[in-house]
Amino acid sequence: MKLRLFFKRYKSDREKAIAKLLDKSLGIRHKRFELYLMALRHKSAARNIYNKPGISNERLEFLGDAILDASVADYLYVKYPRKEEGELTKIKSRIVSRSNLNSMANAIGIHKLLETDLQATHSRESIAGNALEALLGAMYLDIGYEKTHHSILRLLDKYADLRKLEAQEADFKSRLYEEAHKLKTELRFSTVECDEGRGKKQFKSQAFIDQKLIGQGRGSSKKKAEQAAAKKGLHKLNGDRK
């Protein structure tokens, strides 16, 4: 009976699934459900389906990004009283990196609940991290910072390998994601397999920041090609700053 009452006010299976995500994965009792619907509405849906760009999740994403930064900084400041500012910044960058946020968002199924006009599966998965930040912004407005902070810690504990993130020496791709996050830009890799003849397969990768090509690379695997492209991209970014 309780389960029926819980689902009674929701209009669709998608809304029921969103409510379940909030309850089970994020551990919250929401009050203003409309905020979470907006948090999962990509700008392509707001523009092309509703013809109302102002109802997308972009403003909530902006807010959630700041809340996440503050929450993770709070967590690291308490956990590592002897670490210097530079060390704390590096660890925080890895935790809130776009690749890590996408991974957590996909783990709890956000990519399946996005309202978007984009058809490609990989596009949904790549914007899931942004939607996660928007959800955090919605939570802050709905239930306040303290409860949102506890929910973030719960999320990190369950879906992110914090020890690995804290200890790792970031590779080129991770470092490029960190730089993109600092610049508030979108990083995307386009990787294809190419036949080099004599049965030898190669992969070619291109790294884009906000649709601008910043690095290209080749390798015997997709991972190696993307690492090579990321390395060129880092050199390009660092060169542009000099």
Mean pLDDT of 218-235: 90
User: Which residues lie closer than 8 Å to 39 by C-beta, 6 or more apart?
Assistant: 57, 60, 61, 64, 131, 134, 135, 137, 138
**Cα 208 from Cα 97, distance rounded (Å):** 16
133, 142, 179, 226: which is the annotated catalytic residue? 133
**b/e map of 93-113 (b: 16 or more CB within 10 Å)?**
bbbbbbbbbbbbbbebebbeb
Q: What is the model's pLDDT at position 32? A: 95
pLDDT of residue 8: 52
Which of 41-55, 106-120, 131-145, 157-171 has the highest mean predicted lDDT (pLDDT)?
131-145
Q: Sketch out the chain's domains with CATH numbers.
A: 12-168 (1.10.1520.10), 174-241 (3.30.160.20)
Average pLDDT over residues 189-214: 84
For the cut 60, the answer to whether the pLDDT of residue 1 exceeds it is: no
* Residue 57 · residue 40 · CB < 8 Å: yes
133 is catalytic: yes
What is the arithmetic mean of pLDDT over 148-162? 89
Predicted structure pTM score: 0.69
Q: Which of 65, 115, 142, 226 is catalytic?
A: 65
- Alpha-helical regions (H) of the chain: 2-8, 13-20, 33-39, 43-48, 58-79, 85-95, 98-107, 110-113, 121-143, 145-159, 162-167, 172-182, 222-241
Give 24's Cβ-side CA count (13 Å radius): 10
pLDDT for 73 beyond 90: yes
Instruction: Determine the pLDDT at residue 2.
Output: 46
Say whether pLDDT at 196 is over 70: no
* For residue 6, pLDDT beyond 60: no
Say what the pLDDT of residue 199 is. Answer: 61
Give per-residue pLDDT as tens, 125-152: 778 999 999 999 999 999 999 999 999 9
Confidence grade of residue 11 (pLDDT, cut at 50, 70, 90): confident
Per-residue pLDDT at 169: 54
Pairing verdict, β 201-209 and 212-219 = antiparallel
pLDDT for residue 164: 76
- Which positions ≥6 away from 67 have C-beta within 8 Å? 136, 137, 139, 140, 145, 148, 152
Tokens representing 142? 């709905």
The residue type at 19: A
Predicted confidence (pLDDT) per residue in 87-118, tens digit:
888 888 888 888 889 899 999 999 999 998 87
74 an active-site residue?
Answer: no
* Between 10 and 222, the higher pLDDT residue: 222
Q: Which of 80-84, 168-172, 213-217 has the lowest mean pLDDT?
A: 168-172
Task: Give pLDDT, residue 65.
Answer: 94
